[in-house]
Amino acid sequence: MDLARHYDGEIINADSMQIYGGLPILTAQPSSLERGDIAHHLYGHVDPGTPYSVGAWLTQVQSTIAGVHSKGKAAILVGGTGLYFEALTKGLAQMPPIAETAINDAQKIFDEEGVEALRAEVARIDPAAAARILGADRQRLLRAYSVFLQTGRSLTSFQADTKPVLAAGDWRGVCLLPDREWLYQRIAKRFSLMMDAGALSEVAAIMEKKLSGSLTAMKALGLLPLTRLIKGEIDRDDAVEEAVRDTRRYAKRQYTWARGRFTAWPIITDNDPCQHKEQVIKSGFLG
């Protein structure tokens, strides 16, 4: 918001879960009060039952950025999905749509044998992708293997010839990586606030749609434990504990991703959000 006011800009979502409608609380989409008088784009515009991909976002975000620029305003992209930023700044391989059968076959390996078995399969058919995918990153491992099942080609082969959407020098990026323990405490507090704000009702409404578990929207952090709570399989405390644990694990992977993939981006480690603008200024981000 500070950057948007400084640059007379508009904010564009770069988070793979905040694009979905029906889950504004669980995915922490900015409320109308938080948005204030700053225009926000690509939040909650995709039905959770609709398959969506990085490629779909890239197409939409290009036209959105162009629209913001046509008004003489700055485009400010914010979100936690590193792959979205990589697609913008490094390029995205063009490949055919992946059928749900291929996705389900890849998911079956994970469900029946675990993440290490899935990693072993990816290493067999695409060693370069397996080396790039850090830790137990289920989603990216599933993606790499389902691409191979669908096309007979490795994901790496598709990525060999890509061009960035945003040319070097046309953009600036910054990572916010505060102290982990401080962030973990905020994650726990935030999920408690989500519960108070009606996250459970959101999940109940999603359950009524009886959507396929392979859909990306169904991977939203907190959705599975709250589903189990509604079914009576676990109690509220256990559901909250599981959701907070999963979110902390995801945050840990985000730290690893940012430090390993965005090495040229300024990194801000200050815990106080009120200080972030000053830190961004000192990093040379603001002109």
Assess if residue 35 is contained within a domain.
yes
Residues 154-169: what's their mean pLDDT?
Answer: 82
DSSP per residue, 195-256: HHHTHHHHHHHHHHT---TTSGGGG-TTHHHHHHHHTTSS-HHHHHHHHHHHHHHHHHHHHH
Lowest mean per-residue pLDDT among 12-21, 89-98, 218-227: 89-98
Integer Cα distance of 66 and 56 in angstroms = 16
The predicted pLDDT at position 284 comes to 58
Mean pLDDT of the chain: 90
Domain CATH code at residue 128: 1.10.20.140
CA contacts within 13 A on the Cβ side of 226:
25
Among 92, 1, 7, which residue's Cα sits nearest to residue 285? Answer: 7
Q: Which of 141, 159, 177 is the last residue of a domain?
A: 159
Range of the domain at 125: 100-159
The predicted pLDDT at position 98 comes to 87
Answer yes or no: do 117 and 200 share one domain.
no
Assess if residue 25 is contained within a domain.
yes
Answer yes or no: do 146 and 172 share one domain.
no
Answer yes or no: do 88 and 168 share one domain.
yes
Answer yes or no: do 142 and 278 share one domain.
no
The predicted pLDDT at position 221 comes to 96
DSSP 96: P
Go through the chain and tell me how many residues it has: 287
Among 270, 274, 272, which residue's Cα sits nearest to residue 283? Answer: 270
Answer yes or no: do 224 and 262 share one domain.
yes
**What pLDDT, in 10s, does the model give residues 5-55?**
988 999 999 999 999 999 999 999 999 999 999 999 999 999 999 989 888
**What pLDDT, in 10s, does the model give residues 204-219?**
999 999 999 888 999 9
The predicted pLDDT at position 194 comes to 97
Q: Which of 139, 159, 179 is the last residue of a domain?
A: 159
Assess if residue 61 is contained within a domain.
yes
Number of compact structural domains in the chain: 2
Residue 205 tokens, joined? 């409404």
Answer yes or no: do 155 and 23 share one domain.
no
Alpha helices in the chain, H assignment, sequence order: 2-7, 32-35, 54-70, 82-90, 100-113, 115-125, 127-132, 138-151, 155-159, 180-197, 199-208, 223-230, 236-261, 276-282
**What pLDDT, in 10s, does the model give residues 126-154?**
999 999 887 778 888 998 999 999 999 99
**What pLDDT, in 10s, does the model give residues 231-282?**
999 999 999 999 999 999 999 999 988 888 888 888 888 877 666 667 676 6
Assess if residue 230 is contained within a domain.
yes
Answer yes or no: do 128 and 7 share one domain.
no
Burial of 146 (0-12, 13-18, 19+ CB in 10 A): buried
Answer yes or no: do 115 and 257 share one domain.
no
Answer yes or no: do 173 and 277 share one domain.
yes
The predicted pLDDT at position 77 comes to 96
Distances (CA, A) of 162 to 88, 129, 156, 182: 11, 15, 11, 38
DSSP 176: E
Among 81, 31, 91, which residue's Cα sits nearest to residue 52? Answer: 81
Domain CATH code at residue 203: 3.40.50.300
Q: What is the pTM of this model?
A: 0.77
Assess if residue 287 is contained within a domain.
no
Integer Cα distance of 28 and 215 in angstroms = 19
Residues 186-203: what's their mean pLDDT?
Answer: 97
- Asked if residue 170 lies in contact with residue 227, where contact means CB atoms within 8 angstroms, the answer is no
Answer yes or no: do 75 and 177 share one domain.
yes
Integer Cα distance of 99 and 241 in angstroms = 34
Answer yes or no: do 190 and 268 share one domain.
yes
Distances (CA, A) of 60 to 17, 43, 117, 141, 281: 15, 12, 35, 25, 30
For residue 156, how far is the Cα from the chain centroid? 21
Residues whose CB falls within 8 Å of the CB of residue 186, separated by 6 or more in sequence, listed in order? none
Answer yes or no: do 175 and 266 share one domain.
yes
The total of other beta-carbon atoms located within 10 Å of residue 80's CB is 18
Instruction: Kindly tell me if the per-residue pLDDT of 94 is higher than 80.
Output: no
The predicted pLDDT at position 287 comes to 46
